[in-house]
């Protein structure tokens, strides 16, 4: 009888632990590690954003994750500042996950957003330098899929 009384209580406790661990926490991988090359900030897609477009390839340059421009911005090196709620980083495979899709170094990306100086609300890795105008790109896109239009 004792086992029957403990088992339902134990089941309830395990169910509570399982529910607590299934919260809306976003696995950011190595995003917040001291040596993370990814610039990031808190931006919620529901807040809207700017509509400037940066197209290029994802590159790791001297320890900083950058977008190297293509097309009209050919060769322009930009530090993208990604939304923490949409981003994770895997340091071992050097893969950025953004909005649930993986992007490897060299992959083409297209990011909407705007340029401006880094703010105190952003985490900019020490290896990342703003562009010649002192700006970074505040990525405000629901995805990084190359523009097809």
Rounded to an integer, the average pLDDT of 79-91 is 96
Over the stretch 1-24, which tens digit does the pLDDT of each residue have? 443 443 343 333 333 333 333 334
Distance separating alpha carbons of residues 68 and 91, to the nearest angstrom: 20
Q: What proportion of the chain, given as a percentage, has pLDDT over 70?
A: 81
Angle at 53 (CA atoms; ends 32, 34), nearest 5 degrees: 10
- Classified as helix, coil or strand, 63 is coil
Confidence at 26, pLDDT banded by 50, 70, 90 = low
Structure confidence at residue 32 (pLDDT): 93
With a cut of 60, say whether residue 51 has pLDDT above it.
Answer: yes
Rounded to an integer, the average pLDDT of 99-126 is 96
When the pLDDT of each residue in the chain is averaged and rounded to a whole number, the result is 83
**Strand spans (E) along 10-133:** 39-41, 52-61, 64-69, 77-78, 80-83, 87-90, 95-98, 101-104, 108-116
- Classified as helix, coil or strand, 49 is coil
Burial class (CB in 10 A: 0-12, 13-18, 19+), 51: exposed
Rounded to an integer, the average pLDDT of 85-111 is 96
Q: Are 99 and 144 in contact (CB under 8 A)?
A: yes
- Classified as helix, coil or strand, 10 is helix
Over the stretch 56-74, which tens digit does the pLDDT of each residue have? 999 999 999 999 998 888 9
Pull the structure tokens for residue 10.
């134990």
More confident residue, 93 or 13: 93
């Amino acid at each position: 009888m004792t086992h029957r009384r403990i088992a339902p209580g134990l089941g309830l406790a395990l169910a509570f632990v399982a529910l607590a661990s299934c919260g809306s926490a976003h696995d950011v991988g190595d995003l917040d590690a001291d040596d993370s090359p990814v610039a990031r900030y808190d931006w919620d897609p529901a807040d809207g954003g700017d509509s400037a477009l940066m197209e290029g390839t994802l590159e790791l340059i001297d320890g900083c994750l950058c977008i190297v421009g293509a097309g009209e911005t050919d060769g322009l090196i930009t530090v993208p500042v990604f939304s923490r709620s949409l981003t994770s980083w895997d340091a071992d495979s050097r893969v950025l996950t953004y909005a649930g899709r993986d992007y490897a170094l060299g992959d083409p990306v297209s990011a909407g957003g705007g340029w401006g100086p880094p703010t105190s609300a952003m985490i900019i890795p020490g290896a990342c330098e703003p562009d010649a105008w002192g700006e970074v790109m505040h990525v405000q896109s629901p995805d990084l899929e190359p523009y097809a239009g």
